[in-house]
């Protein structure tokens, strides 16, 4: 099995609902995503996928949907307030934990035709979460 990984950086804010720690308050992260793409065979160029293709397909989605957005659960009471203010938000069905954001990025990569097998989101230099089905 061949594997390639592309790293993508983005900034985002979030807060967690039903959580008693500090992360229940709005705060931000300088996130780093590692997107692993695999294939049993290489293409005619000798590649799993060109790194630039990962950037073109997925980084543009991250830039448009997650970068400099407040990522919130769709029923968060802040949603109507931020919408009224015209602030950029990205809404999720689930709590915007690192685990759920990694899964969201995985789904976006799959939807863009990448044979992604794992997505890891680094919230900080010492804390990360991965999603692989």
User: What is the domain partition of the chain in residue ranges?
Assistant: 2-131
Quote the CA–CA distance of 29 and 97 in Å, as a whole number: 12
Two tokens, residue 74? 């769709």
Looking at the DSSP bridge assignments, the partners of residue 73 are: 92
**79-101 mean pLDDT:** 97
Query: What is the length of the chain?
Result: 133
Active site includes 68? Answer: yes
Q: Is 123 a catalytic residue?
A: yes
* Catalytic residue chosen out of the listed positions 14, 68, 87, 99: 68
Classify domain 2-131 at the CATH topology level: Tetrahydropterin Synthase; Chain A (3.30.479)
Q: What is the pLDDT of residues 9-51, one digit of tens each?
A: 999 999 999 999 999 999 999 999 999 999 999 999 999 999 9
**Structure tokens, 42:** 């290489």
């Amino acid at each position: 099995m061949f594997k390639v990984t592309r790293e993508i950086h983005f900034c985002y804010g979030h807060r967690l609902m039903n959580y008693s720690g500090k992360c229940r308050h709005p705060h931000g992260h300088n996130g780093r995503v590692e997107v692993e793409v695999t294939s049993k065979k290489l293409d005619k160029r000798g590649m799993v996928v060109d790194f630039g293709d990962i950037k073109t397909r997925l980084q543009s989605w991250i830039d448009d949907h997650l970068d400099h957005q407040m990522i919130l659960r769709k029923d968060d009471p802040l949603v109507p307030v931020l919408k009224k203010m015209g602030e950029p938000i990205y809404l999720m069905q689930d709590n915007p934990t690192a685990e759920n954001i990694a899964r969201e990025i995985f789904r976006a990569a799959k939807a863009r035709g990448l044979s992604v097998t794992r997505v890891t989101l680094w919230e900080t230099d010492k804390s990360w979460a991965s999603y692989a089905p």
